[in-house]
Amino acid sequence: MSERVYQWTAASIVVIITILSLVPLWYVISGSLVNEQEWMEKGGFILWPEKPTLIAYERLLAGTAFTQALLVSLIRTVLGTALTLSMTTIFAYAVSRKAMPWRKALLFAVLVTILFGGGLIPSYIVVRDLHMLNTIWALVIPSMVDSWSVLVLKQFFENLPEEMEESAKIDGAGEVRLMWAIMIPMAAPAMAAIGLFTAVGHWNAWFDSLIYIDNAQLHPLQLLIRNMFTNASLSVQQNLGQASYAMNAHNRVSIETLKMALVVFGTIPILCVYPFLQKHFTKGMYLGAVKG
């Protein structure tokens, strides 16, 4: 095979795979932008909305089930990310201090939790016995410190130039100042990356709320979407479905369109932070740590 033929084949395969990875999202976005009339006319076969409309989104935002779920998702994402990021940073810094006694033991304790977990039922029992069921704490406390991120960030702290530490000491900075004024600000890029990945994880999480939260009013968006699709909760569907009735045929949306709009809502924050995420993982920071 000549280089020319190879380049053409490679380019076509890459382009085809790229298009294929966009099609489902494209279809769902298109489907979320039509009214009931267009949906019926085309039998749901919509790759290009002729009269794009945002009614489905307006309807969702008008329903209490949806806005409540959105709020829960936002709260858990902000609270959970703040908690995880601060705790992970402090712990990573601690285990990166080579002179600190018991450092090795702490590091070993972290490694063990990467290899073994407590399993579903014991974790559930602990959360239950701490009376965290049906509270926001059940969604943020169990994942408060991420052991992988601790190792990644520890590696980052260790790779910072040693001269920084020495010159700080010469300037008379103690351990406290060294940490807050010098080392942690220098780790800002790594912390940003961990924060972004944590936030994405919180936004996407649904299983923990399935097991820890019975009260449907405290369900995050992802669980609401899941319940819509699996029909596990008909009341949710009715609650959202009612919003689809309107007098005017132009202002009506089918339940399928509503579902698609819901899926799109589930992806919007991800698509918004994606450019920032990409900056971090293309630098390979995460990968360096895998074998570090």
Which residues, numbered 177-236, are part of the site for other proteins (CB under 8 A)?
A: 179, 200, 203-207, 211, 222-223, 225-226, 229-230
Contacts of 184 (CB under 8 A, 6+ apart): 89, 93, 191
Which CB sits closer to other proteins, 3 or 247?
A: 3
CB of 31 to other proteins, least distance (A): 6
Contact (CB, 8 A) for 34 and 52? yes
Contact (CB, 8 A) for 239 and 65? yes
Q: Which stretch binds other proteins (CB under 8 A): 5-13, 60-68, 155-163, 235-243?
A: 5-13
Q: Which stretch binds other proteins (CB under 8 A): 14-22, 53-61, 64-72, 153-161?
A: 14-22
User: Residue ranges of the alpha helices (H) in 97-146?
Assistant: 103-115, 120-129, 137-140
Rounded to whole angstroms, the Cα distance separating 255 from 40 reads 12
Residue 68, CA atoms < 13 Å, CB-side half-sphere = 13
Which CB sits closer to other proteins, 142 or 186?
A: 142
Q: Which of residues 258-287 bind other proteins (CB under 8 A)?
A: 259-260, 262-263, 266-267, 270-271, 274, 277-278, 281-282, 284, 287
Contacts of 215 (CB under 8 A, 6+ apart): 134
Residue 186 burial (CB count, 10 A): 14
CB of 267 to other proteins, least distance (A): 6
Which CB sits closer to other proteins, 118 or 189?
A: 118
Q: Which of residues 77-136 bind other proteins (CB under 8 A)?
A: 87, 90-91, 93-94, 97, 99-101, 106, 109-110, 113, 115-126, 129-130
Which CB sits closer to other proteins, 153 or 248?
A: 153
CB of 247 to other proteins, least distance (A): 25
Q: Is residue 74 part of the contact set for other proteins (CB under 8 A)?
A: no
Nearest-10 Cα torsion for 65, 66, 70, 73: 60
Q: Which of residues 20-59 bind other proteins (CB under 8 A)?
A: 20-22, 24-25, 27-28, 31, 43-45
Rounded to whole angstroms, the Cα distance separating 39 from 43 reads 6
Rounded to whole angstroms, the Cα distance separating 216 from 65 reads 9
Cα-based distances in Å from 177 to 97, 164, 166, 171: 14, 12, 13, 11
Among candidate residues 31, 92, 75, the one with its CA nearest the CA of residue 205: 75
Q: Is residue 62 part of the contact set for other proteins (CB under 8 A)?
A: no
Q: How many residues does the chain have?
A: 292
Pick from 74, 145, 186, 289: which binds other proteins (CB under 8 A)? 145
Q: Which stretch binds other proteins (CB under 8 A): 50-58, 174-182, 187-195, 236-244?
A: 174-182
Which CB sits closer to other proteins, 199 or 247?
A: 199
Among all chains, which residue has been given the structure tokens 């008909």?
234
CB of 213 to other proteins, least distance (A): 13
Q: Total residues contacting other proteins (rule CB under 8 A)?
A: 88
